[in-house]
């Protein structure tokens, strides 16, 4: 099982919180490798996240949740 982390999007403030803006793939969804699964945002910077492998995605945080950078937001496996 692989962990999907909220990446570092703000080098100025590593403690900055970010938002899981959108889950494109529903929880308990079998995602394809490189499938778009989420959009994240920190300090006016947005980033799209893709699945690292073709497995079942499990959300660990809700859409709209504010989390610290490097927090595990989902697992895939």
CATH top-level class of 2-76: mainly beta
Taking residues 61-68, report their average pLDDT. Answer: 96
Q: What is the pLDDT of residues 1-58, one digit of tens each?
A: 899 999 987 788 878 889 999 999 998 989 999 999 999 998 788 899 999 999 999 9
**What is the number of other CB atoms lying within 10 angstroms of the CB of residue 52?**
14
* H or E element that contains 37: strand 36-42
Task: Give the DSSP H or E segment for 21.
Answer: strand 17-23
pTM of the entire structure?
Answer: 0.87
Task: Using alpha carbons, list the distances in angstroms from residue 49 to 3, 5.
Answer: 12, 10
Q: Where are the domains of the chain?
A: 2-76
Paired strand residues for 1: none
């Amino acid at each position: 099982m692989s962990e999907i982390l909220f990446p570092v999007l703000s080098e100025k403030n590593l403690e900055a919180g970010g938002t899981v803006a959108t889950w494109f793939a529903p929880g308990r969804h079998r995602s394809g490798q490189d499938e778009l699964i989420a959009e994240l945002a920190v300090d006016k910077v947005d980033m799209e996240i893709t699945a690292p492998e073709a497995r079942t995605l499990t959300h660990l945080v809700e859409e709209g949740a504010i989390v610290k950078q490097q927090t595990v937001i989902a697992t895939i496996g």
